[in-house]
Structure formats: C-alpha cells, structure tokens
Structure 1
Amino acid sequence: MPQEIWINLPVKDVEKSTAFFNEIGFQANNVGNERAKLSIGQTTILLFPDAALEKFAGARIADTSQTAEVLFSLGANSREEVDELIRKVELAGGTVFGKPSESDGWMYGAGFADLDGHRWNLLYMDESKMPKGK
C-alpha cells in the first residue's frame, strides 16, 4: 500500500508561483527542470508547467477561470492567522473570493485563489464553541 501522496498542480509560471507561495508564508523551492516543491505541513504539492501536467495526466487541465477542479482546505490556529494569511495573499497578487467571516458561531474562515486560479480555503475552528453531539 502506498505510504505517501504527492499532489501535482499545474501552473503557468513555476517561478512566479514559487515566489507567490513563499510570499504568503508557505515553503516552496524550485527543484529540477521547470518544477517546484511546495510543502505545507506534511503535504507535498509539486508545481508543474501546464503542458507537463497535461502530458503526465493524459488529459487537458481545467480552466480555473471557469471551473474549480479542487479546493485545498487548510486549518488555521486562530482567527488572526486567517486574517494575516489573507492579507499576505492580497499583497502577493492572489484573489480573495471569500472574505474572512464567521460561520455557525464556531468557525472562522476565508477563501482565496492563487495566481493560477486554484482555490484554497482557510478555516479556524473554535472547538470550545463547537456544538455537542446529541
């Protein structure tokens, strides 16, 4: 049984995407020819040029201006962490599609798209306010 999963993500410009993710506080490094490794916690996301990923996948990549092919959801440690990351995203050229807001009295989150339109969700859950099961 496989022990690791690597997510392969198409990008238009590996260098610009690498810079964007580093600017917002993630760890991204160029590796090899025209690709980069993005590390978020224990998750590895490999950034590949669009054409390379189409070749590997044997299919065209999604047009992120028209569709969402995936939503990456990230846990935050506080409301302030959500606000700070969204501020960094805006400064780095990303697009905020969901301004920070509270939901259900115990969740606080926001959503953004990176330079290539891939969608990311940030969520802080205040477990002390979480509804108890019946």
Structure 2
Amino acid sequence: MTKEIWANLPVANINKSVEFFTKMGFEKNERFPFTDTMASFFIGEKSRFVMMLFRNDVIEGFCGNKVSDTSKGTEVLFSIDAESPQEVDQMLQKAEDAGGTIYAHGGEKDGWMYGGGFIDLDGHRWNLLHMDFSKMGK
C-alpha cells in the first residue's frame, strides 16, 4: 500500500538538529538535500522510517497552522525498538551527550519490557524500548 512513511518534524535550527540526530546515530538520508530549511534521516534498520526536519516557518507554511508548543504538551511520542536494555541505556546517554533531556531513565516494566525516554532539542519526545516477548505473560 505505501512505499514509505515519513514524519515531518518542525525544528528551530536545522544545523543544530542535524548535529543532534547525527550524534544519536541516525543515518542521513542523502536522497534529500540538507539545506538551512530541511534535512532528512533514516531511523531503523529493517523497515526504515524517514524523518524529515523542516524549519518551523517552513512547516507552518505547508501545514496551514502554527507549530505546537512542546513545552506545554506532547504532540507525538516516537517509539524506537532496541535490541537490548544496554542499547536503551546507550541511546539515552547519546541523547543526553548530544544536548537532549532524559525524561524517563532506563528501567524494567511488567517483567518483559525495558525502556526510557528523551526529549530532543525541539521538545519532541522519544521512547526507547526493548521488549522480550518470551517473558510476556499470556
């Protein structure tokens, strides 16, 4: 049905956001130009997800409304599957080292999930999860 799915994120400063997501280990999507108004990354290894970054004024132009104030509410929560609890903790550390904020430190939940979360430079929330389905109750 669909070839790809893209998330279009508003950002205040393309260069700072490109630096942040590069430090996170996201792969630059070279099919799209990196300019002062837009950039693109792939997320994931299996079925890759395309993340497009647009400067706030640019995305407001094609969305037809103002960018959400992420300091007052959550517009979306991105969840990324991790291979292990250690990878969750490593990604949280990368986010913090790159200038992000940890809102949920790594921890176990329900005996079969391990996760944590960070906030990027523009207030978008990201959730990292390792799920061991062999430990999941019926």
Match of 1:73 in 2: 79
Q: Which amino acid aligns with 1:20?
A: F
Deviation by residue 1:70-112 (Cα, 9 ceiling, x = unmatched): 0000000000000100111111100000111100011000011
How far off is 1:28 after superposition?
3.0
CA distance in 2, matches of 1:2, 1:127: 28
1:118 equivalent in alignment to 2:120: no
Larger displacement relative to structure 2 (2-11 or 70-79): 2-11
TM norm structure 1: 0.93
CA distance in 2, matches of 1:104, 1:2: 34
Aligned to 2:89, the other structure's residue is in SS state: helix
Q: Paired residues, what number?
A: 132
Q: Does structure 1 retain, via aligned residues, the 8 Å contact 2:33–2:39?
A: yes
1:3 equivalent in alignment to 2:3: yes
TM norm structure 2: 0.90
Q: Does structure 1 retain, via aligned residues, the 8 Å contact 2:108–2:114?
A: yes
Gaps of 5+ in 2: none
CA distance in 1, matches of 2:116, 2:110: 14
CA distance in 1, matches of 2:131, 2:18: 29
User: Which of 31, 34, 39 does residue 33 from structure 2 map onto?
Assistant: 31
In angstroms, what is the RMSD of aligned CA positions? 1.4
CA distance in 2, matches of 1:94, 1:131: 34
Deviation by residue 1:2-42 (Cα, 9 ceiling, x = unmatched): 43322110000011101101101112357253210011021
Aligned ranges 1:1-134 → 2 under 5 Å: 2-28=2-28, 31-33=33-35, 34-41=37-44, 42-132=48-138
Aligned to 2:71, the other structure's residue is in SS state: coil
Identity among equivalent positions (%) equals 51
Q: Does structure 1 retain, via aligned residues, the 8 Å contact 2:34–2:40?
A: no
CA distance in 2, matches of 1:84, 1:104: 21
CA distance in 2, matches of 1:117, 1:52: 18
